[in-house]
C-alpha cells in the first residue's frame, strides 16, 4: 500500500494504538514508524523492529533475515480482552526471499486460543508439525485456533511448498506455490522477487507483496496474496477468544521474512473484493496448483 494512503486511512486509530488506549476496540494498525512494543506487542527471538528499510524506507518488522538458524515471533495483545472473536480481517505487506537457492523455512499468521503453548514460549516447542511429523515448525502454524502458513520448504510426503490453512491443529488445506525465488508479480511463488546479483543474502531485488485475510462471521475464509485470491472456502472454525501471533524461522537454508503495514481487526470489515468467476478461472490457469510436489528435495 502507498504509505501516504495508509497513513491517511489509519491515522486516527493508529494514534489511539500508539497511546496504548483500550479505545482501539478490536483493531490495531502498525506502519512501524515507531516501536511496536508501544502498542503492547511482544517481540522475541530473532524478531526485531527496524527503523529504516521498509516501504518508502520506513520502519518494518523483521521475523528472520536470510541467515541460517533464526527463529522469531511477535505476539500481539488480546484486543478484545477475552471476548469471543467471531470474525476478523488482516492485511500486511510481506518481503520474502533473497536467501538460498532452496528458500527455507517459512512463517505463519495465527489467531490463537488462550491456552496455546506459543503464548508461554513463542520460540520454544509449541508449534505444529509437518504432514510427515517433523515437529515445532513455525511455518506450519500454531496448534490452536486458525493458522495461515507460508511454507517454503518441501518436507516430504503430502507436504507442499506454498500456503496452508490449519484449524485447531488439523491441516485443512494446502495451496501449492512451487516457483522458487519468483518475481514479485509471480502468483505461483511465495517469494517476492529473485535474489540480487550478490547471491544468497542479497535482498536488493525483493519487493513487497500484499497479504489479505478475511474470516467472516459465517466462517467463510478468504485469503489473497499478491492481489490474487488463493483461497475461498467455508471452514469449521469455532468462535472463541483469539490473539494474533506471527512466527517464522530459518534452518540449514534460509530466506528473508519481513513485514510492514500490519492492520488487524476483529470487527472484520472486508479487505478482499468479491472476485468475478472469470478472474478466479484466470488465476487457476495462471498456475496455482492444489497438489503436492514430487519428493525430490531434502533439508
pLDDT at 20: 34
Which pLDDT score is estimated for 15? 33
d(CA 57, CA 247): 23
**Euclidean distance between CA atoms 228 and 212, whole angstroms:** 10
Q: What is the pLDDT of residue 285?
A: 39
CATH number of 3-285: 2.60.120.200
Contacts 24+ apart (CB under 8 A), 26-29: 26/79, 26/80, 26/265, 26/266, 26/267, 27/79, 27/263, 27/264, 27/265, 27/266, 27/267, 28/76, 28/79, 28/244, 28/262, 28/263, 28/264, 28/265, 29/262, 29/263, 29/264
- Do you find a cis peptide bond into 105, omega within 30 degrees of 0? yes
pLDDT of residue 208: 98
Q: Which residues does 278 contact at the CB level (< 8 Å), separation at least 6?
A: none
Single pTM value for the model:
0.84
Q: Could you read off the pLDDT tens digit of each residue along the chain, which spans 299 residues?
A: 444 333 333 333 333 333 333 333 488 889 999 999 988 999 999 999 999 999 999 999 999 999 999 999 999 999 999 999 999 999 999 999 999 999 999 999 999 999 999 999 999 899 999 999 999 999 999 999 999 999 999 999 999 999 999 999 999 999 999 999 999 999 999 999 999 999 999 999 999 999 999 999 999 999 999 999 999 999 999 999 999 999 999 999 999 999 999 999 998 667 787 654 433 434 443 444 443 333 333 34
Q: What pLDDT was estimated at residue 196? A: 96
Amino acid at each position: 500500500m502507498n504509505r501516504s494512503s495508509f497513513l491517511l486511512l489509519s491515522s486516527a486509530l493508529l494514534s489511539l494504538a500508539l497511546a496504548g488506549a483500550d479505545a482501539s476496540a478490536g483493531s490495531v494498525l502498525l506502519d512501524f514508524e515507531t516501536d511496536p512494543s508501544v502498542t503492547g506487542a511482544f517481540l522475541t527471538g530473532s524478531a526485531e523492529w527496524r527503523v529504516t528499510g521498509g516501504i518508502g524506507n520506513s520502519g518494518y518488522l523483521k521475523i528472520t533475515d536470510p541467515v541460517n538458524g533464526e527463529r522469531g515471533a511477535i505476539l500481539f495483545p488480546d484486543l478484545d480482552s477475552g471476548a469471543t472473536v467471531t470474525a476478523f480481517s488482516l492485511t500486511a505487506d510481506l518481503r520474502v526471499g533473497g536467501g538460498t537457492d532452496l528458500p527455507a523455512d517459512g512463517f505463519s499468521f495465527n489467531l490463537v486460543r488462550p491456552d496455546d503453548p506459543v503464548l508461554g514460549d513463542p520460540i520454544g516447542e509449541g508449534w505444529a508439525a509437518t504432514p510427515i511429523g517433523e515437529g515445532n515448525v513455525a511455518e506450519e502454524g500454531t496448534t490452536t485456533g486458525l493458522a495461515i502458513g507460508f511454507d517454503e520448504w518441501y518436507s516430504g510426503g503430502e507436504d507442499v511448498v506454498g500456503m496452508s490453512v490449519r484449524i485447531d491443529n488439523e491441516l485443512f488445506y494446502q495451496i501449492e506455490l512451487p516457483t522458487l525465488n519468483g518475481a514479485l508479480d509471480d502468483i505461483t511463488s511465495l517469494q517476492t522477487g529473485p535474489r540480487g546479483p550478490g547471491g544468497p543474502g542479497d535482498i536488493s531485488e525483493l519487493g513487497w507483496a500484499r497479504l489479505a485475510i478475511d474470516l467472516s462471521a459465517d466462517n467463510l475464509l478468504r485469503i489473497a496474496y499478491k492481489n490474487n485470491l488463493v483461497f475461498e472456502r467455508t471452514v469449521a472454525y469455532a468462535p472463541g477468544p483469539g490473539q494474533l501471533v506471527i512466527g517464522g524461522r530459518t534452518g540449514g537454508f534460509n530466506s528473508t521474512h519481513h513485514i510492514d503495514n500490519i492492520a488487524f481487526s476483529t470487527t472484520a470489515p472486508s479487505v478482499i473484493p468479491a472476485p468475478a468467476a472469470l478472474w478466479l478461472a484466470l488465476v487457476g490457469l495462471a498456475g496455482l496448483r492444489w497438489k503436492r510436489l514430487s519428493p525430490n528435495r531434502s533439508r
